Amino acid sequence: MLIGCILLMQEEKEVLALLSKLDLDNIHFADSPPEDAKQSVHLIASEGLEAYLPLADMVDISAEVQRLTKRLSKMQTEYEGLKARLNSPKFIEKAPKDVVRGVQDKAAEAEEKINLTKNRLAFLKSTVMLSQ
């Protein structure tokens, strides 16, 4: 099954390169993960079909860490503002329920984005440490 899948993918290599906007010469098929798998983004397309995208070749990791750190700081400031509004008895008492609910939804969404960004930063930082 795996060999058949690899052969099928090799037949469609040009289409895959076009759709993924990758250089045709940099698409390789193998029956095991690459040596630098821990320094790659790992995608699972389906059972038995996985892709590894080497971060070092695609992203300036230290610049991405700086960008995400700055973004995280802004998100945390916004989140703290939303939480301050929700912790204000005057706001809760005077604001319409739909407005309060909207602020609660924004706070929950902001918290989720903060957690995702923290996880991404941790991953990128561990990638930098692995490559040194």
pLDDT digits (tens, 9 = 90+) for 33-64: 777 766 676 667 666 667 777 766 667 778 88
**pLDDT for residue 22 is more than 90:** no
Look at the block and give the residue holding tokens 């960004």.
Answer: 117
* Ranges assigned E (strand) in the chain: 40-46, 49-54
Its pTM stands at: 0.60
**Range 82-91 contact pairs with CB under 8 angstroms and sequence separation of 24 or more:** 82/106, 82/107, 82/110, 83/107
Reported as a single tens digit per residue, the pLDDT across 57-89 is 667 778 888 999 999 999 999 999 999 999 999
Domain ranges of the chain: 2-57, 61-131
Q: Does domain 61-131 have CATH number 1.10.287.380?
A: yes
